[in-house]
Structure 1
Amino acid sequence: MASVSYHLISSFSYPRGAASLARRGDSPSIFRRGHYSFKSSSDVNGNKFCRILACAAQTGRRQVEIVHDPEERFNRLADEVDKNTKLSRLTLFSPCKINVFLRITGKREDGFHDLASLFHVISLGDTIKFSLSPSKTKDRLSTNVPGVPVDDRNLIIKALNLYRKKTGTNNFYWIHLDKKVPTGAGLGGGSSNAATALWAANQFSGFLVTEKELQKWSGEIGSDIPFFFSNGAAYCTGRGEVVQDLPHALPTDLPMVLIKPQEACPTAEVYKRLHLGKTSSVDPLTLLEKCVQSGISQDVCINDLEAPAFDVLPSLKKLKQRVLAAGRGQYSAVFMSGSGSTIVGIGSPDPPQFVYDEDEYNDIFISEASFLTRQENQWYAEPTSSTSSFSKEEMSQTGE
């Protein structure tokens, strides 16, 4: 009988240079090192996983296949949770938002600014997977994007801590954040993640509290978070935490394109350079009425943070001007969202040609999007037609 050699592998990394070769597609994605074969593959959803084939050098010995699959981690974890638990796993869509207009109306005694803005959820978003942890001691967060904090600096962890504090529940979670919304973009991606985490914690607890309670609590950890508990379209005032739902949201079939350079606009620095005497004098309620009655137009899409953001990042001003000039007849409005650095073009999902043609925009992020709403007592659902987002560098690597 032939002897069997088992090589137990608990973790692995590609040989030096192998991973980059696999990503670029410059060579077959099978690499050999000693007695092991490393094979990079993807599942039907496009998730990367690695098969490690362990075998002895001599012929006649049998092969042991060990599969490392990110999905398996959550499946194993859920199996460990008490089988009597009604809910052990949950996957939620975490959409971002744009500010159709943003007026800064004054400085507050607490150091913040008063604003008046039309917020609207859009179809670009992250996916967050929650699994109940059997440990009952600590949340564990992982993400697909380097540099995103995974400790209690992350708004997801802050939201879960807040929920436990307010309700006295003791559920802890393993969370994986599949991030598609760029950071430092003025799109509220982190705030949406926090709202989604609060909704998830409440669902795991059997909807212990109301949406209104979640909305009220969420303002304690972020000014933009309460908005996501609206129906998806709202007129927001105060620091942003005073949310008035709009009964008639903007058309969900109205296309748009998001264009974000690699550089971010630090929100604190943008507000530091804001001069209230140089902001718009248009009544924000006038802007709201016009937008609701006549739709989005360039004169409605006023953002008082554009001037200080352009001061922080002059190249962003140039980008907006070029999109405006190149998109005449293509976009009904071009404006910056939030404190930047995303430029939004309303009316077409396609960016102007110059962002493809010029090396200056090699690292730019581009995404099509549309407006999105939700039904009461339901969280946001990802649109059936997947939102397309990419960078020029990714597009060139795939040969598109």
Structure 2
Amino acid sequence: IVYDPDERLNKLADEVDKEAPFSRLTLFSPCKINVFLRITNKREDGYHDLASLFHTISLGDVIKFSLSPSKTKDRLSTNVSGVPLDDKNLIIKALNLYRKKTGSSNFFWVHLDKKVPTGAGLGGGSSNAATALWAANQFNGSVATEKELQQWSSEIGSDIPFFFSHGAAYCTGRGEFVQDISHPLPSDIPMVLIKPKEACSTAEVYKRLRLDQTSNVDPLTLLEKISRNGISQDMCINDLEPPAFEVLPSLKRLKQRVTAAGRGQYDAVFMSGSGSTIVGVGSPDPPQFVYDDDDYREVFLSGKLQVV
């Protein structure tokens, strides 16, 4: 008989963990790119129908959740300025939504370690909301299914349901209809993301969108070709680029500069979402000009796509 005190302590700890609900949770909240983004229709409710290949990448935020002794209010803190800390923030909206749907009485202290820039077209806020819903459900004994969380999330944001996918999905409707796609891109494909100082107003971009000037390529054709042949410039269509370039002419110049400076090293250069991030896919090396120009201080590298 061998007495192992460490093993005994580990077993005791396991028993304690079973009996006591956990009180802290730290989660990674990845952002996304739109490999292509077709706008197919304007709806009667004022929203637009889209068809897009969403893909998570290795850039993301870290969110720490702790159960709060308060039974009346969540408390949110963050490492950057300019992020709302009240119910304008999608994290707080998500926690309120979860309590509304389930009757949970849990409130939280939340710290957001923000890495994803705002106003970038990368869905950082939507990802944070999905992460908050998932966390709240864990603290509440996982009483809701992930499908339910996904359906509820569309009530507070069109991009949020995507973040309950496996990491790559063909999204339609306002973005709330999510079809998982199996590994459309190599998981180790490198990319460079450049976010200029100026942000694009999504509302202003859509205001300038003219449906008669969008692409006429079938989005399912784009999806099939990318899944079969990989990413290429002619597949990365974003119907929001022309209106975004009207709103922010410097964004068009940035895309042109990245394409020219890359000298063929990028398989594709495109804008993600409604801007203002320009993505270069296929090389881990930023163009030289970003090192020399103070206008481009937010440059990010992604070397591994987040797919489960």
Normalised to the residue count of structure 1, the TM-score between the two structures is 0.71
Shift of 1:372: 2.9
In structure 2, do the counterparts of structure 1 residues 272 and 240 end up closer, same or farther at CA, with 3 Å as the change threshold? Answer: same
Which residue of 1 is the match for residue 9 of structure 2? Answer: none
Separation in 1 of the partners of 2:168 and 2:176? 14
Which residue of 2 is the match for residue 279 of structure 1? Answer: 214
1:125 maps to amino acid: G
In structure 2, do the counterparts of structure 1 residues 371 and 242 end up closer, same or farther at CA, with 3 Å as the change threshold? Answer: farther
1:227 aligns with 2:173: no
Which residue of 2 is the match for residue 265 of structure 1? Answer: 200
Query: How many residues were matched structurally?
Result: 291
Separation in 2 of the partners of 1:351 and 1:161? 40
Answer with 1 or 2: which has the greater Rg: 1
Higher-helix-fraction structure:
2
2:134 maps to amino acid: W
Which residue of 2 is the match for residue 125 of structure 1? Answer: 60
1:328 aligns with 2:263: yes
Separation in 2 of the partners of 1:121 and 1:157? 22
Separation in 1 of the partners of 2:271 and 2:74? 35
Separation in 2 of the partners of 1:145 and 1:164? 27
1:349 aligns with 2:266: no
Q: In structure 2, which of residues 2, 24, 27 is the aligned counterpart of residue 92 of structure 1?
A: 27
Question: Retained in 2: the 8 A contact 1:250–1:295?
Answer: yes
Shift of 1:86: 1.4
Separation in 2 of the partners of 1:339 and 1:371? 23
1:369-394 alpha-carbon deviations (Å, 9 max, x no partner):
1353354xxxxxxxxxxxxxxxxxxx
1:32-91 alpha-carbon deviations (Å, 9 max, x no partner):
xxxxxxxxxxxxxxxxxxxxxxxxxxxxxxxxxxxxxxxxxxxxxxxxxxx964110000
Shift of 1:135: 1.5
Which residue of 2 is the match for residue 58 of structure 1? Answer: none
Question: Retained in 1: the 8 A contact 2:188–2:305?
Answer: no
1:364 aligns with 2:284: no
Separation in 2 of the partners of 1:350 and 1:218? 36
Shift of 1:137: 1.4
1:345 maps to amino acid: G
Q: Secondary structure at the match of 2:233?
A: coil
Separation in 2 of the partners of 1:345 and 1:148? 27
Question: Retained in 2: the 8 A contact 1:236–1:243?
Answer: yes
Which residue of 2 is the match for residue 107 of structure 1? Answer: 42
2:117 maps to amino acid: P
Question: Retained in 1: the 8 A contact 2:121–2:274?
Answer: yes
Shift of 1:287: 0.4
Q: Secondary structure at the match of 1:299?
A: helix
Q: Secondary structure at the match of 1:177?
A: strand
Separation in 2 of the partners of 1:167 and 1:136? 15
Question: Retained in 1: the 8 A contact 2:168–2:307?
Answer: no
Unaligned runs of at least 5 residues, structure 1: 1-82, 376-400
Separation in 2 of the partners of 1:249 and 1:371? 13
Which residue of 1 is the match for residue 180 of structure 2? Answer: 245
Identify which of structures 1 and 2 has the higher relative contact order when contacts are C-alpha pairs closer than 8 Å and 6+ apart.
Answer: 2
Q: Secondary structure at the match of 1:87?
A: coil
Separation in 1 of the partners of 2:120 and 2:292? 23
Which residue of 2 is the match for residue 144 of structure 1? Answer: 79
Q: Percent identity?
A: 80
Separation in 1 of the partners of 2:150 and 2:293? 44
1:195 aligns with 2:195: no
1:318 aligns with 2:253: yes
Unaligned runs of at least 5 residues, structure 2: 1-17
Normalised to the residue count of structure 2, the TM-score between the two structures is 0.92
